[in-house]
Structure 1
Amino acid sequence: MESKSNSWLDAPVVRLIMMVVATVLLNFGLFPVLNFIAPLVSGIIIGFLVAKIRDGVAVSFLGTIISFSIVFVIAEWFAGFTTPFIDVVGAVLIMGGIGTAGGLIGSVISSNVRS
């Protein structure tokens, strides 16, 4: 018989938020090594762990957007904010798209492995 936990940490929303934080940290850790492949790899890992296609894609997208917003704003700060803002937003969205593709791939792999 399963034991039911009454902890608020077991709520699905809290788990998804924790996975977004894990995606951000994974992107920060992989970026110096993999550069622009980092969102794809972290998306695959997070998508595999989340296992639901919709949730895996959403978590990968949000985590990648948050992490690369921070990375690109810091890079712009060091460069003296010389790049137009719309270019930075476009770069963040491109990285978010790569992370989303990784989340989709990881979720599909996970659903095929677990079924």
Structure 2
Amino acid sequence: MILISKRSVNRAVLALSLIGSTHAFANDTTEQEKWDVSQPTGEVHTVKIDTTESTWSNLDVHPNGDTIIFDMLGDLYTMPISGGEATPLLVGYDWNMQATYSPDGKKLHF
């Protein structure tokens, strides 16, 4: 015998109604209104960030051991493993992260 409380039933009904609502909303977008991360809408402000440190970044070392790739605030950078100036690799409105080199070092995956 399975006992189900009224509270559990109410939570299940709420969860199902939310699923139905988001599904209806997702399918209500026309071709002209589709959102594109590379084309932001509204007011855009550019902020310059000059830093020598990063936290919560992902890092990988090139197979040759000379270079690293890391992400910071959704952009990808490379720099010598010995330190120095970081070179932007992918910057923009889209959020790129968790880059890793292929085993032969010829490709990046992110």
Q: Scaled by the length of structure 1, what TM-score is found?
A: 0.23
Which structure has the highest helix share of the two? 1
Q: Please identify the structure whose Cα radius of gyration is greater.
A: 2
